[in-house]
A and B are shown apart, each in its own frame.
Chain A
Amino acid sequence: MTALSTSTVRIDQVPLHKPWNRSRVTLVLVAIGAAVGSVWGLREVDLSLFSIIDGWPETQNLLERMWAPTIAAEDRGFLTGLVFDTFFMAYAGTAIGVLLAIPLAFLAASNVVPFAPVRMLARAVIVFTRAVPTLVFALVFVRVYGIGVLPGILAIGIHSVGMIAKLLADAIEDIDPGPREGVIATGAGRMQEMVTGIWSQIIPSVISISLYRLEIDFRGAPILGFVGAGGIGLAIRGYQGNLRYPELLGVTFLIVVLVLLMEMLSAITRRAILGSELGSASIGRGSSSGQAVLGVDDPHSVAMMSPATTGASAPSGSSAPWTRDRIKLNVAGWGALGLLVGSFTIPDVSIREFFTSIGDMPNVFWRLVPKDMTWLTDRVVNDLLETVAIGFASTFLALVVAVPLSFFAAANTAPSRMVYRFTRLLALLIRAAPDLVIAVILVAAIGLGPAAGTIALAFGMIGFATKLLADNIEEVPDAPRDGVFATGATRVQEVGTGVTPQVLPSMLGNMLYLFDISLRSSTVLGIVGAGGIGFLLNNAAKTLNFEVMGGIILSIFVIVYSIELLSSWVRRQVI
């Protein structure tokens, strides 16, 4: 006990308050910023409890007119066709995204390209395509290539490139740094060899990222029809225009079922391909629903497979034995190719048209570049602000519900197994309804404007937020909780002291990520009249005013990207 009397301070010198440090200051600043932003946002979109209560009779009225949801008999063939279109559009889009992303990822990886300007250019492409929502690309491409599946494929493809390339570039940079010195010193022969070497190591990453992206695109595809880009969204637009509400609701349910089915399908595929030893260290904890991954923006949550596992099982030469994994890989590969062929034959996309359109892409982007600043009108500024307001307000509303709910949806904090199952299912179902579809319904109920968009976004986000945050809670180690528990604390106290502080950093990260997502989504709400910049964007598209579109897209990019930079800064401060 003698060795312990080393404490040099007197007890009364120890402060009774926690001293301020960087991470605490940041946390408080973030909290204040979030509070101010939320209050401002809610006022800006003119949303209060009263307006919701006031609007309720009309909503109820509308719901009564919508009930019961139907699928019109004469539309069945048409709808079936659209369902197939949606599926193949998403599939082909993701496939193109993957194909374009692979070279881009190599160009963006510091251990492949020692040349900084090339890397930065590649990173810029990645950042831009990631920040602009699929629906915005679709809006542009529909104007250029006409209504149909082709612009949808292109939009999905171009937007997917960014995320896939980012994750893949990170995976490439994570692998064995050994070859790096070699590249700097030697010529092309060596370079080729290295790229081949890296390729064999990142195959599992390519597979897991592609599957993950496919899931996202399956979710996104049903709404592309809103702007004329093919798929089931066309039906929603049609019914909305003709005020055929029961049919509208019927298609909404159809979309929900479709999304759930696709999710199951990708979960099965994921398990089949990645469940083998090939993917033993694979991405995410695939829940029963197969939505495996946390923040898209955090490549480390999409844990890449270690090169060690893969080196052993990746097909490395023609003489490799036919192991189970290799067979699986081949089946998957041929299956993927078959589906791709299907994508171009079943929805009737001309291959020639497709390749011309790809070649035409630089021209399209050039037309979008604003040559002056006339596009930046007061109305644009105003609507951009409204977009941000919707982002704040909807994130706030979603979190108010999702944060408490997430504790019920986490296996380790839920009061009972039943509650846990129910909450997870609820989150899954809410998630399956695309927010834009909800926005369409709400616009019909409470009228045009940002209030409808905010509620729609918030509602759609509750499911996703609950799932993300619950996953965070489930990751918390048990030992510290046991420590608190053993002091005789109640269960609520145990969660408060033993879980909350541990989960705070990852939750905060995901909350920022959710804000990011809602901001992106709020840029397109205006397309269905639910507030924000989307309205002007849609108008510019209708009048073929490419430079205005370009200007607006650029400002969307600036806003989304600065929020992303801000949140990654916050994350670094707090973690």
Chain B
Amino acid sequence: MMSTPATAVEVSNLVKTFDGGRVRALDDVSFSVPEGQLLVIIGLSGSGKSTLLRHLNGLHQPTSGDVRVLGVDVPASKGAELRGLRRDVGFVFQQFNIVGRLSCVENVLSGALGRLRGPRVGAWMYPKAMRREAIEQLDRVGLADRAWQRTDTLSGGQQQRVAIARTMMQRPRIVLADEPVASLDPEISGQVMDVLFRLCLEDNITVLCSLHQVDLALGWANRLIGLRDGKIVLDTLVDETTAHEKVMDVYLRLDPDGKKIEEYQPSRSARASAEEELRRARRQAGAFATGRDAVETIDVRG
């Protein structure tokens, strides 16, 4: 991208089909994410959210189109280069994907594997400094007192917090989160999203997170992207004035029955100014605590 702020993610004309072209999971998707943005992707089930996120760390190969993450051409990279990219791009899964039989510390430690050579089976195989670091990360998610407990003895919300600590242990520059709270109840969901976004803000990490809950999205996101049938149908910056109803309305219109929606064309100038604003907002200490500055909202055409 030509703009001055570093671009974390740049996706252009991404198409992904499954089953020999019968399923079009992503249909000409283009967008770019500046570093430090907290982006939430919403969309109904099957709209392509997971597929999109999985392209960003090379878990899927695009059918056509470009995917650049942190300057790396993802589809073209493999082996050590791709692993290097994955180290910089944390992934938070809906089902946590932690190793239940291991203790919390050991799960968090596995986030540091990319910094080490060779396999590690237990905590004793990691350097002491790393174990200390892992415990600190657990403390950040409020689980230091559970450090050596078997992870599968924790509640779902706690397990996801362990997974977040593991991701932070990677020291990533981007975090991808695929419906990280979809299997948790609403109250716990709020807590877990708070932890995720707070830590990412503290460490200045770019976030791309898919969510079902618009409320949660509005609480933290700087930007919302809506997907429907593999197309971007909504791309809007978020501020405190972005009314819940309005987004809900948009969300409802993501429904296939909302026939009025047409393809969305992002307005480059609007986004550029919004990004400018964002950067300024972040420079003000503790951007999240003071609240984000007002940014312009982009409408869905139609």
Contacts and interface: CB of A to CB of B under 8 A. Distances in A.
Interface of A: 1, 3-11, 14-19, 479-480, 482-490, 492-493, 495-498, 500-502, 504-505
Size class of the contact patch on chain B: 35 or more
B48 to A, nearest CB: 19
B120 A488 contact: no
Given A5-B142, A17-B124, A484 B110 contact: yes
Contact of A16 (B132, B167, B194): B132
B145 to A, nearest CB: 4
Given A4-B142, A489-B110, A19 B166 contact: no
A487 B90 contact: yes
Nearest to B94: A479
B236 interface: no
B111 interface: yes
Contact of B102 (A9, A10, A501): A501
A568 B88 CA distance: 45
A153 to B, nearest CB: 46
Given A19-B148, A483-B110, A484-B113, 14 more contacts: A7-B143, A16-B131, A480-B97, A483-B163, A487-B167, A489-B83, A497-B110, A497-B113, A497-B119, A497-B120, A497-B121, A501-B99, A501-B121, A502-B101
A504 B100 CA distance: 13
A493 B90 contact: no
A380 B131 CA distance: 54
23 contacts: A7-B145, A8-B145, A11-B135, A11-B139, A14-B148, A15-B148, A18-B106, A484-B110, A484-B113, A486-B59, A486-B90, A487-B110, A488-B85, A488-B86, A488-B170, A489-B83, A489-B110, A495-B119, A497-B110, A501-B121, A501-B122, A502-B99, A504-B101
Nearest to A5: B142
A7 B142 contact: yes
A284 to B, nearest CB: 24
Contacts of A6: 142
Nearest to B114: A488
B26 to A, nearest CB: 20
Which of B100, B113, B114, B144 has the most chain A CB atoms closer than 10 A to its own CB? B113
A216 B128 CA distance: 50
B96 interface: yes
Interface string B77-121: 000000111111011010111111111011000110110101111
A575 to B, nearest CB: 10
A8 B113 CA distance: 29
A493 B113 contact: yes
A487 B97 CA distance: 11
A498 B102 CA distance: 9
B142 A488 contact: no
A493 B97 contact: no
Contacts of A1: 191, 194-195, 198
B141 interface: yes
Contacts of A502: 99-101
B205 interface: no
B101 A4 contact: no
A8 B147 CA distance: 12
Nearest to A504: B101
A11 B141 CA distance: 12
B144 A14 contact: yes
B277 interface: no
A18 B124 contact: yes
Nearest to A6: B142
4 tightest A-B CB contacts, nearest first: A496-B119, A483-B97, A488-B87, A488-B86
B4 to A, nearest CB: 29
A487 B86 contact: yes
Contacts of B57: 486
B123 interface: yes
Given A8-B145, A483-B96, A488-B85, A496 B121 contact: yes
B73 interface: no
A492 B87 CA distance: 16
Interface string B55-67: 0010100000000
B202 to A, nearest CB: 11
A566 B161 CA distance: 39
Contacts of B95: 479
B136 interface: yes
B95 to A, nearest CB: 6
A479 B113 contact: no
A16 B88 CA distance: 26
Contacts of B93: 479, 482-483, 486
A495 to B, nearest CB: 7
